[in-house]
Each structure stands twice: as C-alpha cells, then as structure tokens.
Amino acid sequence: METMGFFNRLKSKFSKKEEEAKTYKEGMNRTRQSFTEKLNDLVARYRQVDEEFFEELEETLILADVGVTTVMDLIDDLKFEVQRKNIKEPKAMLEVISEKLVEIYYNGEDESISELNFQADGLTVFLVVGVNGVGKTTSIGKLAAQLTKEGKKVVLAAGDTFRAGAIEQLEEWGKRSNAEVIKQAEGSDPAAVIFDAIKAAKSREADVLICDTAGRLQNKVNLMKELEKIHRIIKREVPNAPHEVLLVLDATTGQNALSQAKTFSEVTDVSGIVLTKLDGTAKGGIVIAIKNELNIPVKLVGFGEGIEDLRPFDAHAFVYGLFADLVEE
C-alpha cells in the first residue's frame, strides 16, 4: 500500500537519532495522548472515508489547536490524496495526515528554516520578545548556557527594565551560563541598555549578544515605539542585525499564543518562535498553526525545566512525537 511509506521513513530517520526521538516522544506525551486517542477512536468508528469522517476529523484537528485556517487547508489536501490514492480504509488516513502535517509546516521550504542565523564572523545579535510569564528570560538563559558550552562568548542585555525582578533573573542566568550581563537601573531606557551591551559585546569580542526586552502588550503603541528604537540602534551599530527576532510563546496557551504571535509580528519582524512548555500541553498542534497562518518557523522548543530541555525544532521529530505509538508499531 502506497500510504505505508511515511511511518517507515520516520522510523528509519529517527533510529539513528534515538535521543531526539525520545525527547519528542516524552515531551509530546500529553498532546499525543489527547490527539492520537481521538484519531484512533475516529478511525475505529468508521468503516470508510466519507464526508462524515472528514467532518469529525476537522473537529478533532481544531480541538488540537491546529488552527481553523490550517485545518481547512489540511482537509482539502487530504480529500485530494484520498481520491488520488483511492484510499478506502480510515486507518490508512493516519499516515496521510502525519505526512501532510510535515508538508504544511515546510510548505516547499527546506528544513534549514528552523536553524538559528549565526554570523560566520563578527557579532551575532538576537533580539528576544514576548509577553511576561511565557518563559522569555529562562529561554534566554538556557540558550546562553548552550552557546557558552559550545565555546561561544555570549553577552546578555537586560533590556526588560520595567518588570520587577527581570534584571536579577537575567543576572542569575548569566552566572549559571558564564555569560556577562549588561544592565542599568530598573526603569531606565531599554534602548540605552542595548546600546551599552553592543559596545560591551564588541569590545569583549563576543560571538553572540542576546537582548531581553519588556513584554508589555497592554499598550501596543508604546511597545512598537520601544522596539522600533531598539531596532534602529542595533541596525546602526551592527549592520544587518538583529540576525534573529525570536518571539517566545507558551504552548499551553494554545490559540492565545497564536494571537500574541499575530500582534508581535505586526509590531516587529519576528523571524522565529521559541515555544516553551510543549510538554505541558495537549494542544501542540499550535506549532503547525503558527507556521501556516503567519509563516514564522518555530526555531526552538522547550520540553521542561532543565538547561538541556530547550531544543532545536524539527517538524519530522514533532510528527514523530505526535504519532510515536503508531510509528513504532
């Protein structure tokens, strides 16, 4: 049967990457239990792939937070595949769904869209944005720790000068990750902090500068002005920078994360998503929705509290985690 190929391809791909497969399988346990159970139940109740089957499938995908627009696209693609491959058995649909999720995610682009953009020489600047409480400072700390472990010299800019405790939190991560933190007093101008940090990073010949920012969404105009000012300073001091604008989102907030992504992509050029707490949600489908509806790739995913738990994103590994029980059968 033609549709049997994709699970086998996933299985062979991750037989060489056991650790990655295990991370995604364990990290996506909640989403898989909720999503795959519903799919298995659906498949068991239908004798054939018909209009009613598609209606229920649509509902199941929407409940997994794949996003309404994305689900409509996916259902159209699936109907086309059913006709093209003459699929009659509902069980055969599981493999087709998994393959289509990967296709929708990459949308003709290659896997390198999820890689962070580091400069071969000179300073790499990452600007990190996101609302308070999504794990922004923690993600910066984990990334800094991983980069210093790889031998890179990292400087952190404490640009979130409004939230009480944000500077101290970043300083704590600086100690843990062997990265220098550039700061000013609480309440000072974030753009001035970023300016100081760029100067410091250059004079120390650092490889990477990661800039924290305030996450005040209540007043979009202020946020926009602040980010524009920061952007201007970075561009002036480091041409072509920032090399990444990373938006941190909390996976457990589902559709709310999607609306945050929409807002932030209106006020700044978001180049990638850092999705935290993927292990804590049953709505991991949000990954596909963000990429398909906003065309912003997920670059890093968080699966827990440890420094090592921030991982590069791979859509094949994500789908492996989603269908692991079936892939490993």
User: Do the Cβ atoms of 157 and 174 come closer than 8 Å?
Assistant: no
Residue 234 structure tokens: 């970075």
**What's the order of all strands across the beta sheet hosting 272-276?**
180-182, 154-157, 208-212, 124-129, 244-250, 272-276, 298-302, 310-312
| Residues above pLDDT 90, as percent of the chain | 81
User: For 247-281, what is each residue's pLDDT tens digit?
Assistant: 999 999 988 999 999 989 988 899 999 999 999 98
Domain with CATH 3.40.50.300 in the chain: 114-314
pLDDT in tens, 51-74: 999 999 999 999 888 889 999 999
CA distances from 279 to 86, 206, 225, 284, 304 (A): 37, 33, 35, 9, 7
Mean model confidence pLDDT for the chain: 92
CATH topology of domain 114-314: Rossmann fold (3.40.50)
Angle at 87 between CA 85 and CA 90, to 5 degrees: 150
CATH 1.20.120.140 in the chain: give the residue spans. 2-111+321-327
State how far the Cα of 97 lies from the Cα of 95, in Å rounded to an integer: 5
**pTM attached to this predicted model:** 0.94
Give the Cβ contact number of residue 77 at 10 Å: 16
| Alpha-carbon gap, residue 92 to 104, rounded angstroms | 19
Task: Give tens-digit pLDDT for 8-34.
Answer: 999 999 999 999 999 999 999 999 988
Q: Shortest CA distance to 293 belongs to which of 95, 68, 102?
A: 68
Query: What confidence tens digit (pLDDT) does each residue in 209-237 have?
Result: 999 998 876 677 888 889 999 999 999 99
CA distance 267 to 182: 25
pLDDT at 5: 86
CATH number for 2-111+321-327: choose from 1.20.120.140, 3.40.640.10, 3.40.50.970, 3.20.20.70.
Answer: 1.20.120.140
**Cα separation of 96 and 92, whole Å?**
7
Alpha-carbon distance values, 91 to 2, 47, 94, 165 (Å): 13, 9, 6, 52
